[in-house]
Amino acid sequence: MECTEKMAEENLTIVVEFVLLGFSDYPKLQGFLFVMFLVIYLSILIGNGLIIIITKVDSALQTPMYFFLGNFSFLEICYTSVTLPRMLVNIWTQKRNISFLACAIQLGFLLILGAPECLLLGVMAYDRYVAICKPLYYPLIMNHKVCVQLVVGSWTIGIPVQIAQTYQVFSLPFYGSNKLNHIFCDLRPVLKVAHGNTFVSELSIYAVAMLFGMAPFLMILWSYMKIVSTIQKIPSTTGKYKTFSTCSSHIMVVGLFFGSIIITYLQPKSSHSADNDKIFSLFYTILTPMFNPLIYTLRNRDVIIALKKLFKCEQIDYNVGKW
């Protein structure tokens, strides 16, 4: 009887904060995890920061492709700053509590910044399609005004939808258990501890994912099908390689980002586990932003030259542009 009363009392307790369990199952690794995530965060800030700087100041990189890359790098810094600083504080202080409002804000910003990440990758694929498949019309189609409109649209188009989705999720009743078996406030772990009918919320999540995730992904696939078809018509092997090399970095980033998201959110429930969620969420929230500068630097001669100029403090003409 006492036990039943305690359970009823617990179930009626309204949640005012959550506990992010994170990697608390590994107490002996907390110091190592803190150093690792700190190094990763600093590398993201430095690497993507350098990409932003060189795409702004180097006249050789004043093209649509690098304009999009600079914006994508800035987005990566914003995206990781929503989760990583909080993770570092939680590991350092061993206090894993996060208020209801702070959790809602974190999830809201994750969704708001996740949408433009998908859309910008789609825009970058379209840019490569126009450059390779319609080279004569490239300066006209991808003029500065259009590029700015594409970037602004990518950043802003999803904001109302994602705010509405966040409000819908946190309007659900939360009482009893407040433990989120995750490293940050994400949709799936939050819905797990919600009570009431979550079917509408889950349905809206998949609908929004199709709109801002699958649509850009299909755009990317279509662009590269056209690009491959055009490259096959190039007679020389050297020409084919040089043309495809302009897309290889983008393909690697797309594969890493969308691959981890697809595995995380589209895996069947039978094979789903919280530990897998944690690992795969690290790929699209942390590892992709970390590898982004490396991928574009190591596989791009123009970026390497620009970085050498920057570090040698050579005189750069800030006013000359190509488009």
Is the separation of the CB atoms in 227 and 133 below 8 Å? yes
**Unique residue bearing structure tokens 């795969």:** 280
Q: What is the pLDDT of residue 61?
A: 87
For residue 239, the tally of other CB atoms under 10 A from its CB is 11
CA–CA gap between residue 143 and residue 146 (Å, rounded) = 5
The token pair at 288 is: 């992709």
Contact present, 109 and 79 (Cβ < 8 Å)? no
Other CB atoms within 10 A of residue 32 CB: 11
C-alpha 254/C-alpha 7 separation (Å) is: 47
User: Which domains occur in the chain, in start order?
Assistant: 15-311 (1.20.1070.10)
Tokens of 72: 């994508």
Contact at 8 Å (CB) between 23 and 278?
Answer: yes
From 70, 76, 75, 78, select the one nearest 50 (Cα to Cα).
Answer: 70
Q: pLDDT of the chain along its 323 residues, tens only?
A: 444 444 444 445 788 899 998 888 788 889 999 999 999 999 999 999 999 999 998 888 899 999 999 999 999 999 999 999 999 999 998 888 999 999 999 999 999 999 999 999 999 999 999 999 999 999 999 999 999 999 999 999 999 999 999 999 999 998 878 899 888 999 888 998 988 788 888 888 888 888 888 889 999 999 999 999 999 988 888 888 888 888 888 888 888 888 877 776 666 555 566 677 787 788 788 888 998 888 887 767 788 888 888 777 544 444 444 55
Task: Give the 3-state secondary structure of 162-227.
Answer: HHHHHHHHHCCCCECCCEECCCCCCHHHHHHHCCCCCHHHHHHHHHHHHHHHHHHHHHHHHHHHHH
Residue 12's pLDDT is 57
**Local structure of residue 18 (DSSP, 8 states):** E
Amino acid 317: pLDDT: 47
Cα–Cα distances in Å, from 82 out to 41, 85, 113, 261, 303? 11, 7, 9, 17, 27
